């Protein structure tokens, strides 16, 4: 029996480690756009858009080429976010096996299209990078549930997986370095296509057919058990019995509800999805995410052209700074947990009289939201200064802010809104923010002539992100005063009276929010 338990734990760890490597080496490949563009320019993709200038030198105006590369990234990043809601639906209803096979097919199709592309068929980059983006996000979504295998460390694992997703953009730096050493771009992407066989093997050997349950059964197993006729025994039981319902033992309900009120009773107080969408918290959070995401996508999409402008066309300098940017992306996996530590800093402290854990979480989130907005402001200011050495610091701020942005987005939605609406709200906020990110393309046309004015406009736009943490801070102050004025009443009703005057109530079904948190991705 002990040997069997050891076997289960070994499989859990293999699943965890291989999932981390999958996210780190493949899932976020599309965000290595800057490194890829450097190689594609050398190969003269969209080269017909470069025109000779009137000067006596051999210099060319390649602004049209830069716009095409930016548009390729715009389309891919838009689909990466916009299809989040559909991706979550596919995962929920089709299970892990079918979702991963679809993800592998999309990802492999993307790498194969890049391998088959050429300067004459530059337009293949549009479907290629779009397939890489959508397939990579699906791989991330299926891996997020691995945190359920380690309940005590689930949020840490989810954070690391998101950080690994961010860091995987550095893989294209390796492709760039290999290209400079004489290895063709096509051979590199053929190799990545062949690696899809590893994803297929992991799908059948180390992943479940359906989902890893939130409350892990004893001796839970999955995948193919070599030498045993009965495979997926526990998982098949889960399918027959159905997933864990939102009813839990009475003892657990009592522990989550004040004065003996059960969780089922509290769920009657949960507001509708429409009320959540109309709340100030959701609207300001949507503005907070959309503005900062637009700033990041615009920076990544125009990085190569910006470096060329600041380096006066020196390809060696551009290569040096492109490498530096890609290397900093590797730090995403290290930066990601910091935001979680900030949001969980109150966990070991006693709650204020009459304060619920949900309210304490919301109060703690204020600092995270504020720091994220402040980081983005500093990042925007540094990116707007036409001083090339300063861009090293800009790269550091960019990767730090990006790690805070997406982790904080999912964490705030799970704290501030009912868990039964988390999936829909997360999909909606990512879809709408994807629509806003499309604005980066018209900005590319303007930045060619007026880079200073575009940068200043983005700085002022970033200031709008401070509205969200300010609103949360004011709300928490009001809640604190209400508790002091009516401590007994607040202790009795605070579990479902977090929002007033049109704001959304905090979920009474909080213990399920992390199961829906598996839909996280992002960017």
Q: How much is the pLDDT for 241?
A: 45
Q: Say if 262 falls within a structural domain.
A: no
How many C-beta atoms surround the C-beta of residue 278 within 10 A? 14
Q: Which of 141, 169, 193, 155 has the alpha carbon at shortest distance from 77?
A: 169
Distance CA 111, CA 129 (A): 8
Q: Which of 71, 166, 135, 77 has the alpha carbon at shortest distance from 437?
A: 77
Question: Do 488 and 346 share a domain, yes or no?
Answer: yes
Q: Say if 296 falls within a structural domain.
A: yes
Q: Say if 6 falls within a structural domain.
A: no
Question: Do 153 and 277 share a domain, yes or no?
Answer: no
Q: How much is the pLDDT for 5?
A: 65
Q: How much is the pLDDT for 57?
A: 53
Q: How much is the pLDDT for 2?
A: 57
79, two tokens: 């689909």
Total structural domains within the chain: 2
* Residue predicted with more confidence, 434 or 195: 195
Question: Do 239 and 303 share a domain, yes or no?
Answer: no
Q: How much is the pLDDT for 166?
A: 83
Q: pLDDT class for 238, splitting at 50, 70, 90?
A: very low
Question: Do 294 and 426 share a domain, yes or no?
Answer: yes
Question: Do 381 and 485 share a domain, yes or no?
Answer: yes
Q: Which of 20-34, 218-232, 495-509 has the lowest mean pLDDT?
A: 495-509
Q: How much is the pLDDT for 136?
A: 92
**Given 199, 224, 243, which residue is the final one in a domain?**
243
Look at residue 51 and tell me whether its pLDDT is greater than 70.
Answer: yes
Distance CA 467, CA 501 (A): 18
- Percent over 90 (pLDDT), the chain: 35
Q: pLDDT class for 123, splitting at 50, 70, 90?
A: very high
Q: How much is the pLDDT for 264?
A: 38
Q: Which of 186-190, 237-241, 345-349, 458-462 has the lowest mean pLDDT?
A: 237-241
Q: How much is the pLDDT for 267?
A: 42
Q: Which residue has the tokens 């019995």?
A: 241
Q: How much is the pLDDT for 203?
A: 94
Q: How much is the pLDDT for 140?
A: 87
pLDDT one-digit tens code per residue, 399-457 = 999 888 887 887 788 778 876 676 678 778 888 998 898 888 788 778 777 888 899 99
Q: How much is the pLDDT for 289?
A: 94
Q: Which of 291-300, 451-460, 500-509 has the lowest mean pLDDT?
A: 500-509
Look at residue 233 and tell me whether its pLDDT is greater than 50.
Answer: no
Q: Which of 286, 291, 294, 289 has the alpha carbon at shortest distance from 73?
A: 294
**Given 196, 227, 243, which residue is the final one in a domain?**
243
* Residue predicted with more confidence, 34 or 122: 122
* Residue predicted with more confidence, 4 or 211: 211
Q: Say if 369 falls within a structural domain.
A: yes
The CA-atom distances, in angstroms, between 91 and each of 98, 134, 138, 510, 522 are: 8, 13, 8, 22, 15
Q: Say if 347 falls within a structural domain.
A: yes
pLDDT one-digit tens code per residue, 307-356 = 988 998 888 899 899 899 988 888 888 887 787 778 777 666 777 666 67
Question: Do 203 and 313 share a domain, yes or no?
Answer: no
The mean pLDDT of 201-212, rounded to a whole number, is: 91
Q: How much is the pLDDT for 204?
A: 94
The CA-atom distances, in angstroms, between 147 and each of 25, 156, 265, 421 are: 19, 8, 29, 21
Question: Do 232 and 372 share a domain, yes or no?
Answer: no
Residue ranges making up the domain that contains 128: 12-47+63-243
Q: Say if 3 falls within a structural domain.
A: no
Question: Do 198 and 284 share a domain, yes or no?
Answer: no
Average predicted confidence (pLDDT) for the chain: 79
**Given 243, 262, 285, which residue is the final one in a domain?**
243
Look at residue 101 and tell me whether its pLDDT is greater than 50.
Answer: yes
Question: Do 204 and 348 share a domain, yes or no?
Answer: no
Look at residue 172 and tell me whether its pLDDT is greater than 70.
Answer: yes
Q: Say if 7 falls within a structural domain.
A: no
Q: pLDDT class for 129, splitting at 50, 70, 90?
A: very high
Question: Do 87 and 234 share a domain, yes or no?
Answer: yes
Q: How much is the pLDDT for 124?
A: 94
Question: Do 298 and 178 share a domain, yes or no?
Answer: no
> What CATH number should be reported for the domain holding residue 369?
1.20.1250.20
Look at residue 462 and tell me whether its pLDDT is greater than 70.
Answer: yes
Q: How much is the pLDDT for 93?
A: 82
pLDDT one-digit tens code per residue, 470-500 = 999 998 888 878 777 765 544 444 444 444 4
Q: DSSP code of 351?
A: P
Question: Do 227 and 276 share a domain, yes or no?
Answer: no
The SS3 of residue 74 is: helix
Q: How much is the pLDDT for 468?
A: 94
Dihedral of CA atoms 97, 99, 101, 105 in degrees, nearest 10, equals: 180
Q: pLDDT class for 362, splitting at 50, 70, 90?
A: confident
Q: How much is the pLDDT for 188?
A: 95
The CA-atom distances, in angstroms, between 397 and each of 8, 328, 371, 485 are: 41, 10, 12, 43
Q: Say if 123 falls within a structural domain.
A: yes
Distance CA 184, CA 72 (A): 21
* Residue predicted with more confidence, 220 or 23: 23
């Amino acid at each position: 029996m002990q040997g069997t338990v050891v076997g289960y734990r070994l499989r859990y760890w293999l699943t965890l480690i291989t999932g981390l490597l999958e996210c780190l080496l493949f899932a976020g490949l599309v965000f290595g756009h800057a490194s890829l563009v450097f190689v594609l320019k050398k190969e003269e993709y969209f080269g017909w858009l470069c025109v000779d200038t009137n000067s006596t030198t051999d210099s060319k105006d390649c602004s049209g080429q830069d716009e095409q590369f930016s548009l390729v990234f715009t389309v891919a990043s838009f689909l990466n976010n916009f299809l989040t809601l559909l991706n979550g639906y596919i995962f929920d209803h089709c299970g892990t096996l079918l979702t991963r096979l679809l993800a592998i097919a999309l990802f492999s199709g993307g790498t194969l299209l890049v391998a088959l592309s050429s300067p004459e068929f530059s337009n293949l980059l549009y479907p290629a990078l779009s397939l890489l983006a959508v397939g990579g996000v699906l791989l991330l979504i299926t891996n997020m549930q691995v945190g359920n295998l380690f309940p005590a460390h689930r949020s840490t694992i989810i954070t690391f997986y998101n950080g690994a997703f961010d860091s995987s953009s550095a893989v294209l730096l390796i492709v760039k370095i290999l290209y400079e050493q004489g290895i063709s771009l096509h051979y590199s992407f053929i190799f990545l296509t062949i690696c899809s066989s590893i994803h297929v093997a992991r799908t059948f050997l180390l992943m479940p057919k359906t989902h890893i349950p939130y409350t892990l059964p004893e001796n839970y197993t999955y995948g193919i058990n070599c030498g045993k006729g009965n495979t997926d025994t526990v998982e098949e039981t889960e399918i027959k019995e159905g997933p864990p319902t939102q009813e839990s033992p009475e003892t657990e309900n009592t522990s989550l509800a004040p004065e003996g009120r059960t969780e089922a009773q509290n769920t009657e107080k949960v507001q509708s999805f429409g009320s959540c969408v109309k709340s100030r918290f959701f609207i300001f959070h949507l503005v907070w995410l959309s503005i900062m995401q637009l700033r990041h996508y615009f920076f990544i999409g125009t990085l190569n052209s910006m470096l060329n402008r600041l380096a006066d066309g020196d390809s060696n300098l551009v290569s040096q700074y492109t490498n530096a940017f890609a290397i900093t992306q590797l730090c995403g996996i290290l930066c990601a947990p910091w935001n979680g530590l900030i949001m969980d800093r109150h966990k070991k402290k006693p709650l204020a009289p009459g304060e619920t854990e949900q309210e304490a979480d919301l109060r703690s989130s204020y600092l995270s939201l504020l720091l994220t907005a402040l980081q983005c402001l500093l990042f925007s200011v540094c990116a707007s200064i036409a001083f090339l050495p300063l861009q090293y610091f800009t790269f550091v701020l960019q990767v730090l802010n990006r790690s805070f942005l997406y982790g904080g987005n999912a964490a705030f939605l799970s704290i501030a809104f009912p868990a039964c609406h988390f999936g829909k709200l997360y999909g909606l906020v990512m879809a709408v923010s994807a629509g806003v990110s499309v604005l980066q393309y018209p900005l590319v046309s303007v930045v060619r002539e007026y880079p200073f004015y575009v940068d200043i406009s983005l700085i002022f736009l970033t200031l709008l992100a401070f509205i969200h943490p300010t609103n949360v801070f004011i709300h928490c102050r009001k809640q604190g005063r209400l508790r002091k004025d009516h401590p007994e009443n607040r202790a009795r009703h605070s579990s479902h009276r977090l929002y007033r005057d049109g704001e959304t109530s905090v979920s009474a079904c909080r213990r399920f929010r992390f199961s829906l948190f598996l839909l996280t991705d992002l960017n």
